Amino acid sequence: MDLLRVPQEKKRRVIINTDAKNEVDDQYAIVQALLTDGFDLRGLIAAHFGEAKSSHSMQDSYDEIQLLLDLMGMKDQVRVEKGAAHAMPDEVTPVDSAGARLIIEEAMKEDDRPLYIAFLGPLTDMASALLLEPQIAQKDIKVIWIGGGDWPVGCKEYNLGNDIPSANVIMKSSLELWQIPRNVYRMMPITHAELVHRVYPQGKIGKYLVENLIQFNNEGRGRPTDYRVLGDSPAVGVMIFEDCGEWDWKPAPEIDGNMKYTHVGKHRPIRVYRNMNSRFIFEDLFAKLEMFSSR
């Protein structure tokens, strides 16, 4: 609706990097980003999610992004690029891809607005872009990462585990990093009942989001039966309102092979979130889905 139309010069330049087919929470974050008029969405990048679940995980993510766009009637309206097909082998060898090149292209543009890049999986494409074009470290970029273990010790965490070298590249860089670690992104539980009540009635995309999530939960051993943690949605929330959670500036750690943090105290501070306002994020999603469906 026109009342919610944001002037172009006030829109936030945004790129979403997503391992969309890894589980069933990326989809909610992608849809919310697509429906946020305050975002000037410069592109979606399909990310890999290792090889344990699929030998072609990046392609799976790419196909899932295209499916979401198709269900929303947005096919070919948003740029979609393929990111790296696998993790970086070490901290000095980038994995070149169309996704990394998109990051470089947007970062190097003459634009007074910051560039927000949200990573819902590993940091492979951000680290690769930085290694391919070091000049982007001097640009006004805000890297938002859903990943890393609980502060301050660290622990095994899925997104980090899919590319530890890339996380270290970013931790040691001068880029502005907003980290939403595991203990914080897990503050986003929502019940099946609420999803059926608030999301399922909202057209093809609402039906798909809920059916896909419940089927995923029901098919996997050890998965919850009544709820799901929508752990990627905070990345969208903090781009809408950066104080959507409380946070602190902390010197960036280095990360060892066990995914523990080593607090060496020699890297620039990063923003580390310590909690998240889930209702702000969920209610925004519900309202945007309902308005989109009614149109």
As a whole-number percent, the residues of the chain with pLDDT over 90 amount to 97
> In whole angstroms, what is the distance from residue 76 CA to residue 93 CA?
32
- In-domain check, residue 2: no
pLDDT digits (tens, 9 = 90+) for 160-186: 999 999 999 999 999 999 999 999 999
Given a contact cutoff of 8 angstroms between Cβ atoms, the answer to whether 178 and 274 are in contact is: no
- In-domain check, residue 82: yes
pLDDT value for 283: 98
- In-domain check, residue 88: yes
In which domain, by residue range, is 90 found? 9-294
50, 56, 60, 63 alpha-carbon torsion, rounded to 10°: 140
Query: Which of helix, strand or coil describes residue 255?
Result: strand
- In-domain check, residue 239: yes
- In-domain check, residue 1: no
Cα separation values, 253 from 39, 271, 272, 287, Å: 30, 12, 11, 38
pLDDT digits (tens, 9 = 90+) for 217-230: 999 888 999 999 99
| Preceding peptide of 201 cis, ω within 30° | no
pLDDT digits (tens, 9 = 90+) for 22-80: 999 999 999 999 999 999 999 999 999 999 999 999 999 999 999 999 999 999 999 99
- In-domain check, residue 185: yes
> In whole angstroms, what is the distance from residue 141 CA to residue 173 CA?
12
Q: What is the mean pLDDT of the chain?
A: 97
pLDDT digits (tens, 9 = 90+) for 184-203: 999 999 999 999 999 999 99
pLDDT digits (tens, 9 = 90+) for 241-292: 999 999 999 999 999 999 999 999 999 999 999 999 999 999 999 999 999 9
Report whether pLDDT(1) > 60.
Answer: no
Cα separation values, 272 from 127, 176, 178, 221, 246, Å: 19, 11, 6, 32, 9
> In whole angstroms, what is the distance from residue 72 CA to residue 80 CA?
15
pLDDT value for 226: 96
Given a contact cutoff of 8 angstroms between Cβ atoms, the answer to whether 57 and 19 are in contact is: yes
CATH number for the domain that contains residue 85: 3.90.245.10
Tokens of 276: 């998240």
pLDDT (average), residues 103-128:
98
- In-domain check, residue 228: yes
Identify the residue whose tokens are 């999986």: 121
Single pTM value for the model = 0.97
> Domains in the chain: how many in total?
1
pLDDT (average), residues 118-136:
98
pLDDT value for 205: 98
Tokens of 54: 């699929």
- In-domain check, residue 290: yes
Given a contact cutoff of 8 angstroms between Cβ atoms, the answer to whether 244 and 283 are in contact is: no
- Determine how many CB atoms are found less than 10 A away from the CB of residue 55: 9
